[in-house]
Structure 1
Amino acid sequence: MHNAEINKTSLLILIALCLGWTLIYADRTALYPLLSVIGKDFNLSATLLGTITGSYFLVYVAMQIPSGMLADKIGKKKLLIITFFIAGVALLGFGLFARSYILLLLFTALHGLGAGAFYPCAYGIMLNTVDSKISDKFGRKKIALMLFPLGAFTIFLMTYARSPFPIILSLVAYGIVGKSSWDPIAVAWAGRHAAAIDKDALGTAMGMFNFVGMMSAVVAPVVTGYIRDITGSLVTAYYVAAAMSILGGCLVMFIKLLQFSPDNLLHTNSHKLPNPL
């Protein structure tokens, strides 16, 4: 009975985190189809439009490590509530009060401030809720070595999409083999190492992990806009993205798999039974 209650609680926590992730991601991606409209209204170049999304990711990335450390100190649940509220206020301000380019940047950056705490908190809660001592029996490295080239291939195919259906098909394909598939593997991989070191500092560890992973999101929108301004097309940007995916696969080849025995992991964390929230 006790185990059943624990499993039910864990399931509810995971569902709540998934819903939170969905909202954060929806808020972020809702901006992209509006960029063309914003560009016309404010007479902005592609570079300036890229700076709007870049301002979000700049603050978002900067928040990763501080929010992870703060979550470990004051509690992950408490920090999630506060930062979700900030993100919501920023979106409201973006829609109602952003009447200039500067205000667009400020409200977008404020939203990044609120959203930036989600992943360190959520990953920390998840890794405390779900056992992170599962061995690498599925071969994370082997899966990653397959995903990166497939992701690059789907990005490459996007350059040949000339109608809505092929575009949607290529995006769905990338969703299956691209970042959405890599993220769970990377989180579990990094979380397994972090839990073996200090399970009470998972917020900080996952904040640092997401900080490194999201650094490119600060630069990519501006670079993509710059490439379009120069070439008049986004095709070259897709080629660069595909090449970056191939490079990521090459770097994974050099990762050495460290073996953690269950006994060592248990000994490392036997004195720590943290509240997942």
Structure 2
Amino acid sequence: MSNLCGMNKCAGRRAGGNGLMLAALAAGWAVVYADRTALYPLLSVIAGDLALSSTEVGLLTSTYFLLYLVLQIPAGMAGDRWGLKKVLLATYALAGAGVLGLGLAGASYASLLFFVGLHGLGAGGYYPSAYGAMLQAVPPERRGVSAAVVGTGMAAGLLAGLAMSGPVYDWLGSWRAPFLLLSVPTFLMLGFFQAAVPAVRGTETASWREYRAILADRDLWLINIVTFTALYGFWVAVTWGPTFLKLERGFSLGQAGLYTGLVALTALPAGLMWGRLSDRFGRKPLALLVAPGAALTLMALSQVTSAPAIVAALLAFGLFSNSAFTPIMAAWTGDIVSSRYPGAMGAAVGVFNFVVMSAAIVAPTVSGYLRDVTGSLVPAMLAGSALVLAGSALIALLPGRLQGERKQAGP
């Protein structure tokens, strides 16, 4: 009995440790997402202040995500070899320097590009190191809900960044003020990570053969492509949503950012629900349900015109979009990698996020082009919806249950 109690105590300590780790990683996502999305409602203000063209404004977000993507795979590989926690701390400090620079020295277009890019480069190390550590530390039967817990930070940060930047600008009269305020929690997160995140490394050192195998794995590529299409639709809505609501639906600047952020309100509980259900019933059934929902609700958002209908469409979109859907696919990636390539979790997650987040570069640019051609963002949203629906069809090609997934008997 004493041995059994000892085992139970150890299990309790592991669960408590994982809970603290998940809280830290979710908070880290919330802060880095707020840093990122605070920029979007201010783009028109920055353009007017610095006399920038639409192309120059678009280059700001493209620069961010280009450098964000550059660090994905190298950060994952470095984490596999030298420790995911070390990479997490180093790159998050770099992101903090970027947002602080925007607040203190972002006075010219050149400095804006530099500090936006610096934050993007630092933030690029977060996903592979944070999700790599989480997927290594939690048991397979809890990967879905654990990924969803971390993903709640995305939703919370999305809402916080979009909702606070406009009012802070109105209050203080400076578009740099929101970034200066956000730099404080960004640097404070380093202490939280140090205390809460375990020093996780792969169970064995990955070989170059494993890295090549990851890049040739059909199932991983299907997951990557499906999630890319889902995030394409999400970034159409988030990056152009405030502009769409302001110019085509008559909302004020503050309202446009706040309303776009409403997707986070339903994404928070939805991500936890979908993630838990995917642990119990398998990733594929849930993905087949959630992805088409994102396509249909994005299509609805493009068509409705009244304020209540817009609110309803945004809340419905949150039920199925990024923070609700991506945890299922991240957990699915973890199932495959832990079974086939156990020493290369960081690199595999880096490849996953590199592919799916390239949507953040493609979607704003293509949507902007469609707006220039048609004079409206409605065609851009419809195109995004069609792409998400096409990606949903690819889910049928994935295996139903992978090694590492175990159907749960209990709640």
| TM-score between the two structures when normalised by the length of structure 1 | 0.88
* 121-130 vs 193-202, greater mean Cα deviation: 193-202
Runs of 4+ in 1 over 6 A off after TM superposition: none
The equivalent residue for 2:362 is 219
8 Å CA contact 2:43, 2:57 repeated in 1: yes
Partners of 1:179 and 1:262 in 2: how far apart? 22
Partner-residue secondary structure (3-state), 1:199:
coil
Q: Deviations over 1:218-264 (max 9, x none)?
A: 2222222222233222111111111111111012122234642789x
Q: How far is the alpha carbon of 1:166 from its aligned partner?
A: 3.5
> May I ask how many residue pairs the two structures share in their alignment?
263
Residues 1:167 and 1:39: Cα distance change in structure 2 (over 3 Å): farther
Q: Who is 2:299 aligned against?
A: 156
Whole-angstrom CA distance in 1 between matches of 2:298 and 2:358:
20
Given the alignment, which residue of 122, 128, 146 partners 1:114?
122
Q: Does 1:184 align with 2:361?
A: no
Question: 2-side partners of 1:111 and 1:74: how far apart?
Answer: 23
Residue type at the aligned position of 1:241: G
Residue 140 of structure 2 aligns to a residue in which SS? coil
State the AA in 1 paired with 2:84: K
Determine whether 1:58 maps to 2:201. Answer: no
Superposed, 1:53-132 pairs within 5 Å as 53-132=61-140
Q: Percent identity?
A: 44
- Structure 1 contact 151–245 (Cα < 8 Å) conserved: yes
TM-aligned CA distance change 1:258 to 1:153, over 3 Å: closer
Aligned 8 A contact 1:57 1:218 in 2: yes
Q: State how far apart, in whole Å, the 1-side matches of 2:128 and 2:12 are.
A: 27
Is the CA contact 1:46–1:229 (under 8 Å) kept in the aligned structure 2?
A: no
CA distance in structure 2 between the partners assigned to 1:118 and 1:245 by the alignment: 25
How many angstroms does 1:161 deviate by?
Answer: 3.9
Query: What per-residue deviation string (whole Å, max 9, x for no partner) do you get for residues 97-142 of structure 1?
Result: 2222232222111111000011101111111121126796513212
Structure 1 residue aligned with 2:174: none
- The structural deviation recorded for 1:203 is 0.8
Pick closer, same or farther for the CA change 1:144–1:259 going to 2, 3 Å. closer
Find the aligned partners of 1:168 and 1:35 in 2 and give their Cα distance.
Answer: 23
Check whether the contact 1:149–1:245 (CA below 8 A) recurs between aligned residues: yes
- Residue 49 of structure 1 and its aligned partner are, at CA, apart by 2.1
Distance 2:346 2:318 in 1: 26
Q: Secondary structure at the match of 2:344?
A: helix
Give the aligned residue type for 2:313: S
Q: CA contact under 8 A between 1:133 and 1:192: conserved in structure 2?
A: no
Relative to structure 1, the CA distance from residue 112 to residue 66 in structure 2 (aligned partners, 3 Å threshold; closer, same or farther) is: same
Change (3 A) 1:239 1:262: closer
RMSD of aligned Cα (Å): 2.1
Larger relative contact order (Cα-Cα within 8 Å, sequence gap ≥ 6): 1
Preserved CA contact (<8 Å) 2:32 2:123: yes
1:262 and 1:231 mapped to 2: Cα distance? 46
CA contact (8 A) 1:50 1:224 kept: no
Deviation at 1:200, TM superposition (A): 2.7
